[in-house]
Chain A
Amino acid sequence: MSNKVIKYILILALAIIAAIVIFEFVSNNPDKRPSNPFEFNVDNYKAVDETLISYKETRQIAIKDGIPGAIAFSHGQLYLLVDDYLQVILPGGMEVFKRKLSEKPNCIAVDRDGFIFIGFENRIRTYDKVGIEINLSEVASDKSHFTALAVSDDLIYVADAGEKQIRVYDKKLQQKHVFNGESGVSDVHGFILPSAHFDLAVNSDNELWAVNPGLHAIQNYSETGRLRGFWSKSSFENDGFSGCCNPYYIAFLSNGSFVTSEKGLVRIKIHKESGELSSVVAAPEKFSNGTKAPALAVDESDNIIALDFDRKMIRFFEPK
């Protein structure tokens, strides 16, 4: 091989090296990197027909001083659990009062008379209208993990995700009943809780409805634990619930319709009493990607109040 040929080879190889080094240096910059070829894509299910959406978002209240945990609406006031504080605010955002609680709370409900019931890890405490603690229950069980609370005219229902049970207390915080949702009917399993979350709500007729998330079902129980009815629907489409822990939160409109919120494909919808989809409150595009399901409350004029954990704000949705 002549020296001339060698020289050309060397120059070529040098040029290649220079090109590769520059390429490697530049191509790896954050704006030049490829997108995810394995993207988990649920965009197809995010689109919601505009005519289905019956609510519009009107305003938000940002929560600045802590991590929000739960929300309730009663007597024209919003009851919030933020870190280990109970905060009561007017819908306009003005603070009524704020109280430090003795431990970290999980869930809250307010009864007709304005008494505040707060569920902690494994017990309930009662507070009066201005947030003074007046009663507390026994510790339910070491395994207990209370995640939701609902009050009827004379009973308190607690969703205990740790024991996979619903506990029924009277207003003096004496436990009356406890049941695990098993009905004896072969195709209806007890509560299947794939995650540490379990929600329930009481409608205006004092009926208890609990979510059975493992079955994508919403079930109606008597206070003694007799299954009186249920509906369920698994679907990625708007008409049902997706994933393994949905619906995550439920609430009731005054006409008895269900308001549901979901995680994964984050959305808020209204289902009729029969379970049929009625309309959509907030489509997935309203929420950040990968957020938790928003907690729900409904005010006296059927406005839906959602607690967005990701954006740390209270979001108000009003009928169009």
Chain B
Amino acid sequence: MSKLQSRRQFISGCARYSLGLTIAGVIGFSLTNASSQQWLWQIDPFKCTNCGRCATHCVLNPSAVKCVHAYALCGYCDLCGGYLKPGHIARNTAAENQLCPTAAIERKLIEEPYYEYHINEELCIGCAKCVEGCSSFGNGSLHLQIRQNICVNCNECAIARVCPSDAIKRIPADEPYLIKGGFEHGQTL
């Protein structure tokens, strides 16, 4: 082996070890801040302003954001602000009376005068129109959540980037939902 080559190898070896040390340093430093915690994106329903971007900006089509129903908060009203279009002609299930653009809300009479509203997530596009109707005229039991079985968990959520109220945050994966009326920890509001 020539002198030149061994010098090159020596330099390269030095560089290799210093790079290795650097990487080890990065690992060590990161480990102080790393955990087995994995992260998911979720909507804070109390911050959400129902802007409609969840329907338009998700990388999936239809969006991984769906309207969910916190039944425990629902008034089971006949006159549901989230189900019926403002100025509806009749309180029935006819399409022209429905607020939802995809007719994804299913209405079922439980007993007079109470109706159950159920979201058909196959149809829901996450536009939050009903959420706005429900929160302004009703109790706000309808709200948006990212469906974690659909979400591809992008490294950076495309909706979060355009969310005007900063309502989409990374949350620990062991509590994947922020359903209204039952956050396990004293989160938000």
**Interface residues, chain A, with chain B CB atoms under 8 Å away:** 28, 30, 33-34, 36-42, 44-45, 189, 192-195, 214-216, 234, 236, 242-246, 263-265, 290
Q: Is the CB of B138 within 8 A of A194?
A: yes
B8 within 8 A of A: no
Q: Is the CB of A264 within 8 A of B81?
A: yes
Q: Is the CB of B101 within 8 A of A38?
A: yes
A265–B161 alpha-carbon span in the complex (Å): 31
Residues of A within 8 Å of B112, CB to CB, are: 189
Known pairs A245-B137, A246-B137, A263-B137. 19 more at Cβ < 8 A?
A28-B162, A34-B56, A36-B53, A37-B55, A40-B129, A40-B136, A192-B77, A192-B113, A194-B139, A195-B138, A234-B79, A236-B86, A236-B87, A243-B137, A243-B138, A244-B75, A245-B138, A264-B136, A264-B137
Q: Is the CB of B132 within 8 A of A40?
A: yes
0/1 interface trace, chain B 54-77, chain A, CB 8 Å (1 if under) = 011000000000000000000111
Closest residue of chain A to B86 (Cβ to Cβ) is A42
Q: Is the CB of A45 within 8 A of B87?
A: yes
- Looking at chain A's contact residues, is the secondary structure mostly helix, strand, loop, or mixed? loop
Residues of B within 8 Å of A42, CB to CB, are: 86, 136
B51 within 8 A of A: yes
Q: Is the CB of B86 within 8 A of A195?
A: no
B50 within 8 A of A: yes
B28 within 8 A of A: no
Among the listed A36, A38, A214, A242, which residue makes an inter-chain contact with B137, where contact means beta carbons less than 8 Å apart?
Answer: A242
**Interface residues, chain B, with chain A CB atoms under 8 Å away:** 50-53, 55-56, 75-81, 86-87, 99, 101, 112-113, 127-129, 132-133, 135-139, 161-162, 164
Residues of B within 8 Å of A37, CB to CB, are: 52, 55-56, 127
Contact sample, A vs B, 10 pairs, CB 8 Å cutoff? A28-B162, A189-B113, A194-B138, A194-B139, A195-B139, A242-B86, A244-B78, A244-B79, A246-B137, A263-B136
* Min CB gap A264→B, angstroms: 4
* Min CB gap A42→B, angstroms: 5
* Min CB gap A11→B, angstroms: 30
A246–B128 alpha-carbon span in the complex (Å): 22
* Min CB gap A309→B, angstroms: 14
Closest residue of chain B to A290 (Cβ to Cβ) is B136
Q: Is the CB of A244 within 8 A of B77?
A: yes
Q: Is the CB of A243 within 8 A of B136?
A: yes
* Min CB gap A33→B, angstroms: 6
Residues of A within 8 Å of B137, CB to CB, are: 242-246, 263-265
Residues of B within 8 Å of A263, CB to CB, are: 136-137
Q: Is the CB of B113 within 8 A of A290?
A: no
Given A28-B162, A42-B86, CB of A245 within 8 Å of CB of B99: no
* Min CB gap B1→A, angstroms: 43
A82–B50 alpha-carbon span in the complex (Å): 30
* Min CB gap A291→B, angstroms: 9
